[in-house]
Amino acid sequence: MHVLADTFDTVIANGTAVTPSGTALADIGVIGGRIARIAAPGTLSGGRTVDARGLHVLPGVIDTQVHFREPGGEHKEDLATGAAAAAMGGVTGVFEMPNTNPSTDNVAALQDKLDRAAGRMWVEHAFYVGATDRNLDMLGALELELGSAGVKIFMGSSTGGLLLEDDANLLKALRNGKRRVAVHAEDEPRLRERKRIAEETGHPRAHPIWRDEITALRATERLIAAARATGRRVHVLHITTGDEMRYLAAHKDIATVETTPNHLTLAAPDCYERLGTKAQMNPPVRDLAHQQAIWQAINEGVVDILGSDHAPHTLEEKAKTYPATPSGMPGVQTLVPVMLTHVNDGKLTLERFVDLVSHGPNRAFGIAGKGRIAVGYDADFTVVDMAANWEITDDWIESRCGWTPYAGFKASARPIATIIRGQDVMRDGALIGKPEGKPMRFHETTRGEGV
């Protein structure tokens, strides 16, 4: 029996939907950009029907770590090209990082990012505010600004000039504010001591030796000690070692954990011999033993979120002599097909993938109305074909850098449509309409514009 409802703007019909109640065939009715009804397949009708027969309908994927580096340049990533890559890859929302030039570390810089995003970003977005030794007293106010994803701390130097390397400033930063703080945890003094290893070797195979496991674990231990001392919740980004995963498992009451598809898919030393500096990122891709430990942490529930750490650089930049080469690789567009291929290979369930890229971001950061297929939530969907066998190539990449470390990767799943607030943004490999992404809202912010 059909439920006729002229008020449904859109019906996503006959897809296999991953909802909090389980994975099953369903119709999803959308009114005013929000989910209004979830019903048995073939029972809803409305103004527009999207036929998802044979496809999986996931809650919109949210990538909580991307670096679009606005303002960009002729050959550099920016908000427009980065968001286009996200939409092409089935990602409906992004948290963008503050290590831009100039840094996003004050109200004016945050507002400038929001102004630049308006009418240019295809996906929903929020921007981290970077902690520096100059803005520690302002962090509590900055994290509550419209469009702020919260505060990001770099304990170790990466690309950009933001850095809080000493415990005194780390404690000051954590005492200023209440929202969960995202942290890049590498021990800067040890990085300085060991940089000669990279310089003497002159090859990226030295990257995980220079930025070794002790460098990562030492910083993570310092971070958790500071979080305990201040009572502040932290989100530890791109964890790369089994030692850190085992340590963080004992501190889940105060710390959420992220890892990346790169650390679950690539492994040293092969990736450095095969890809050279294209495989260079911070913290580094490590060996198979660490990769296996990260997979164990995924399946034991230690990891809360998967972020791509999308940080594209041009081939010209990557062609410099290591370690003068910049760290980072593109990843927002490949996150969904690479990880869903792991799902098809039996390394994690589809429901666990959804938890890591949709439910997890919602839960850890308090995103309002996103991250679930549930009545009342925004109608953001990542529609995928779980039986599509294809090869990822450089020419599929929308990012301005024009390359991916996954060129030649045999994927067994593919994003078919990106739907945001009930509107198609990407379908069948083409962007649709115009960029109308909006700032995300958060339960913990005091400003509720856009409700």
Q: How far apart are the C-alpha atoms of 440 and 375, rounded to whole Å?
A: 18
Which burial class, exposed, middle or buried, applies to 169 when counting CB atoms under 10 A from its CB (0-12, 13-18, 19+)? middle
Range 224-248 average pLDDT: 98
391 and 421 within one domain: yes
pLDDT of residue 450: 46
* Domain C-terminal end among 345, 365, 385: 365
Residue 279, both tokens: 């495989």
110 and 52 within one domain: no
CATH of the domain at 12: 2.30.40.10
pLDDT of residue 73: 62
Phi and psi at residue 66, to the nearest 5°:
-130, 150
Name the percent of the chain in helix, strand, coil, to the closest 5: 35, 25, 45
pLDDT of residue 75: 66
pLDDT tens-digit series, residues 260-287: 999 999 999 999 999 999 999 999 999 9
Asked if residue 293 is part of any domain, the answer here is: yes
Q: Is the confidence at residue 447, as pLDDT, over 60?
A: no
pLDDT tens-digit series, residues 45-81: 988 999 999 999 999 999 999 999 876 666 689 999 9
For residue 53, what are the CA distances in angstroms to 6, 17, 340? 22, 11, 18
Range 227-247 average pLDDT: 98
Report which residue type is found at 320. Answer: K
Range 310-338 average pLDDT: 97
- Secondary structure of residue 325 in the 3-state scheme: coil
Q: Is the confidence at residue 362, as pLDDT, over 90?
A: yes
For residue 226, what are the CA distances in angstroms to 187, 219, 258, 381? 14, 11, 19, 38
* Domain C-terminal end among 365, 393, 418: 365
| Percent of the chain predicted with pLDDT > 70 | 95
218 and 283 within one domain: yes
Average pLDDT across the chain, whole number: 95
- Secondary structure of residue 306 in the 3-state scheme: strand
For residue 198, what are the CA distances in angstroms to 243, 321, 325? 23, 11, 11
pLDDT of residue 74: 63
249 and 395 within one domain: no
pLDDT band at 1 (very low <50, low <70, confident <90, very high): very low
pLDDT of residue 446: 55
pLDDT band at 159 (very low <50, low <70, confident <90, very high): low
pLDDT of residue 355: 98
Asked if residue 423 is part of any domain, the answer here is: yes
Tokens 């389980």, residue?
22
Q: Is the confidence at residue 7, as pLDDT, over 60?
A: yes
Q: How many domains does the chain have?
A: 2
Asked if residue 446 is part of any domain, the answer here is: no
143 and 108 within one domain: yes
| Percent of the chain predicted with pLDDT > 90 | 92
Range 122-143 average pLDDT: 97
Asked if residue 301 is part of any domain, the answer here is: yes
Asked if residue 209 is part of any domain, the answer here is: yes
231 and 132 within one domain: yes
pLDDT tens-digit series, residues 381-438: 999 999 999 999 999 999 999 999 999 999 999 999 999 999 999 999 999 999 999 9
Q: Output 72 or 245, whichever has higher pLDDT.
A: 245
Which is the catalytic residue, given 27, 105, 304, 309?
A: 309
pLDDT of residue 76: 84
- Secondary structure of residue 229 in the 3-state scheme: helix
158 and 49 within one domain: no
175 and 38 within one domain: no
pLDDT of residue 162: 87
Question: Is 329:311 a contact under the CB 8 Å cutoff?
Answer: yes
pLDDT of residue 157: 80
pLDDT of residue 104: 93
- DSSP letter at 295? H
96 and 8 within one domain: no
pLDDT band at 6 (very low <50, low <70, confident <90, very high): low
68 and 52 within one domain: no
Catalytic, 167? Answer no
Range 121-138 average pLDDT: 97
pTM here? 0.96
Asked if residue 51 is part of any domain, the answer here is: yes
Nearest to 244 by CA among 264, 218, 267, 263: 218
Question: Is 66:308 a contact under the CB 8 Å cutoff?
Answer: yes
Asked if residue 397 is part of any domain, the answer here is: yes
66 and 124 within one domain: yes
Nearest to 201 by CA among 324, 288, 311: 324
* Domain C-terminal end among 317, 344, 365: 365
For residue 25, the enclosing domain spans 3-57+376-431
Asked if residue 120 is part of any domain, the answer here is: yes
163 and 97 within one domain: yes
Range 17-25 average pLDDT: 97
List the beta strands (DSSP E) in 215-329: 234-236, 255-259, 305-306
pLDDT band at 451 (very low <50, low <70, confident <90, very high): very low
Residue 4, both tokens: 């006729």
Question: Is 121:437 a contact under the CB 8 Å cutoff?
Answer: yes
Q: Is the confidence at residue 231, as pLDDT, over 90?
A: yes
Nearest to 11 by CA among 66, 57, 54: 57
Helix axes 79-88, 107-117, angle to 10 degrees: 60
Range 194-207 average pLDDT: 97
Question: Is 19:12 a contact under the CB 8 Å cutoff?
Answer: no
CATH of the domain at 80: 3.20.20.140
Nearest to 399 by CA among 326, 320, 338, 311: 311
List the beta strands (DSSP E) in 147-273: 148-154, 181-184, 234-236, 255-259
Q: How far apart are the C-alpha atoms of 368 and 65, rounded to whole Å?
A: 18
